[in-house]
Structure 1
Amino acid sequence: MRPLRYSINVTLDGCCHHEAGLPPDEESMRYWTAEMQRADALLLGRVTYQMMESAWRRPATGVWPDWMDEWEIPFAEAIDQVRKYVVSSTLSAVDWNAELIQGDLGQAVQQLKQEPGEGLWVGGVTLPLALADLGLIDEYEFLVQPVLAGRGPTLLAGLRERIELELVDRRDFQSGAVAVRYRPTHVTA
């Protein structure tokens, strides 16, 4: 069974809005590129899918946009190529190497986890909360930015039950960011 990992940037005060942290630097982009390359597929909600697609989909010209630094291209290539599953009740179709998931979320994700492979990756805010409530997340990976945002959506706000975690990995970055990875101490689903 392949594990499902929730990975996201988060500020010290728990804000997980994509604009609240520090702009990506070379070190964090290398880290996220390696993580993306380890994923068999991404599981994304509609909002995250559309946001990531607008930023990281290879343009029809095949040329990456001018705003993208050279060190961001490996991440763009990795996310552009990886298989994606999009959970949405409002979209009727998806592309960008993606498949639409509708209906019973728990059942659909259990089926994806049963397929062979190294792992699934989920990002965003709303979908991970639903998956955590269902007990389907096997690892939580946070890149904690040395920033206090003071506002914005917070990590797993509204979680129905407390989830106890054990630290399984930690990595310090020169920027002061810290990547931490946790596993639930007991599985509820």
Structure 2
Amino acid sequence: MRPLRYSINVTLDGCCHHEAGLPPDEESMQYWAARLAEADALLFGRVTYEMMQSAWRRPSTGAWPHWMNEWQIRFAETIDRAEKYVISRTLTAADWNAELLRGDLERTVTQLKQQPGEGLWVGGVALPLALADLGLIDEYEFLVQPVLAGHGPTLFAGLRERIPLDLVDRRELRSGAVALRYRPTGAMA
């Protein structure tokens, strides 16, 4: 069974709005590009899919925008070419190397996890909350930004039950951000 890893940037006070933390830098973009490249496929809800597509889809010209730094291109190319699954009740179609999935969330994601491979990656806020409630997330990865946002959406607001976690990896970035990886307590490595 391939594991499902949830990854997100978050501020010290738990805000998960994509503009609340530090602006991306070369080291954080390299970190995320490497982590995304380890996944067989990406799993998004509608909101995250549309946000990521608008930011990271290769333009029809084939050339990346002039505003994009060289160090952003590796991340852009990694996410652009990745296989994607989009779980949505409202979308009627998905492109950008994506397949639209509907139906029972638990059954659909369990079937994806049962396929051979290295793992799945999920981002966003609402979909990961539902997956956590179902016990389907095998690893939680947070890039904790040294910022206090003071407002904005927070991770796992409304989670039904506590999920005890074991720290499995920690990495400090030069910016002061800390990458933390956890597995649910008692999960196999």
**Fold in common (TM above 0.5):** yes
Output the TM-score relative to the length of structure 2.
0.98
Q: Render the CA deviation track for 1:67-123: whole Å, top value 9, x for unaligned.
A: 211100000000000000001000010000000011100000000000011000000
Q: Which amino acid aligns with 1:175?
A: S
Aligned partner of 2:41 in structure 1 is 41
* Structure 1: distance between partners of 2:36 and 2:138: 17
Aligned partner of 1:60 in structure 2 is 60
Q: Render the CA deviation track for 1:2-55: whole Å, top value 9, x for unaligned.
A: 000000000000000101011000000000000011010000000000000000
Unaligned runs of 5+ in 1: none
1:112 and 2:100 aligned: no
* Structure 2: distance between partners of 1:66 and 1:47: 26
Aligned length: 187
Shift of 1:161: 0.1
Q: Which amino acid aligns with 2:46?
A: R
Aligned partner of 1:145 in structure 2 is 145
Q: Which amino acid aligns with 1:92?
A: T
* Structure 2: distance between partners of 1:91 and 1:143: 29
SS of structure 2 residue aligned to 1:78: helix
Where does 1:95-106 land on structure 2 (aligned, <5 Å)? 95-106=95-106
Output the TM-score relative to the length of structure 1.
0.98
Aligned partner of 2:174 in structure 1 is 174
Aligned partner of 1:10 in structure 2 is 10
Identity among equivalent pairs (%): 78
Superposition RMSD on alpha carbons, in Å?
0.7
SS of structure 2 residue aligned to 1:110: helix
Q: Which amino acid aligns with 1:9?
A: N
* Structure 2: distance between partners of 1:52 and 1:147: 23
* Structure 2: distance between partners of 1:56 and 1:14: 25
Shift of 1:186: 3.9
SS of structure 2 residue aligned to 1:18: coil
SS of structure 1 residue aligned to 2:136: coil
- After superposing on structure 2, the runs of 4+ consecutive aligned residues of structure 1 that deviate more than 3 Å are none
SS of structure 1 residue aligned to 2:29: helix
